[in-house]
Structure 1
């Protein structure tokens, strides 16, 4: 594998950018992420993605505060990083560090051996989500295309 710097634009597909989804819980959000990734990459196991996301959450919530979560996991048999961006109709309890409900999720599914890329992407996401105005703009999007364009900076 060649060393290339991954960007949010390179890992997020329009089909995995989902605006104002109605989900009732953290568990349901993780199931939904697994379903969506499996639909876009059928060779990846929905059950394995879900189980790995849950296992990662058991180590500590990926809810980083201010209504934002970055659930992520490594996955055996995955050959490229997959990003999933979801805004929720209503926030769900996510055991976030500030105990606030989460309504903005960016999930990362990464190949088992992709450690540096994984950390680089988490850093990029944390930087973007640190911008309160940017997060407000994401939450104001009313359709998948607008959400994708806002996240990737495409006009």
Structure 2
């Protein structure tokens, strides 16, 4: 099942950001369904990031947080023009931020697991890095995941 089927909306953007803070703000703007939600989502992403880096390796970060105003999860995939320090072992150039409703507990963990699995594929990571624009990023994540070799 494509990742986008698990969320109410997934926005994509090629983003020029100077640091982790500006990446989290850009992600919050994409995640918010109304402008009023942007500040709360940004605060929640920053609070989670303060607990420990959401960088997972291979230049990927998955910042995440709760958003009480949401009824279903939302995602934001950002391809950074230049890598930024996310507090991990290496700079990050691909970010998939998620905001989930407050009542999502198990589903939140399942989404994080799905994202980690998606980004474990070297071909997907390279395709995202090679994508020239937001539409190309969207086309990559809309594809069904590759069948595992049995």
Is this a same-fold pair by TM over 0.5?
yes
Which residue number corresponds to residue 3 of structure 1? none
User: After the TM superposition, which residues 5-84 of structure 1 pair with which residues of structure 2 at under 5 Å, given as runs?
Assistant: 8-10=3-5, 11=7, 13=9, 16-19=11-14, 21-38=15-32, 41-42=33-34, 45-84=37-76
Contact 1:7–1:121 under 8 Å retained in 2: no
Q: 1:67 to 1:107 in 2, by over 3 A?
A: same
Residues 118-154 of structure 1: CA distance to partner in whole angstroms, max 9, x if unpaired?
1111111100101112101110000111110111117
Which residue number corresponds to residue 84 of structure 2? 92
Residues 84-121 of structure 1: CA distance to partner in whole angstroms, max 9, x if unpaired?
0010101000001xx21100000010001101111111
Task: Report the count of equivalent residues.
Answer: 143
Contact 1:82–1:109 under 8 Å retained in 2: yes
Residues 26-83 of structure 1: CA distance to partner in whole angstroms, max 9, x if unpaired?
0000011112223xx1165211111100110111110111100000001122211001
User: After the TM superposition, which residues 99-114 of structure 1 pair with which residues of structure 2 at under 5 Å, given as runs?
Assistant: 99-114=89-104
1:110 and 1:55 mapped to 2: Cα distance? 15
Task: Choose the corresponding residue for 2:133, options 129, 143, 147.
Answer: 143
Normalising by structure 1, report the TM-score: 0.86
Normalising by structure 2, report the TM-score: 0.88
Contact 2:3–2:142 under 8 Å retained in 1: yes
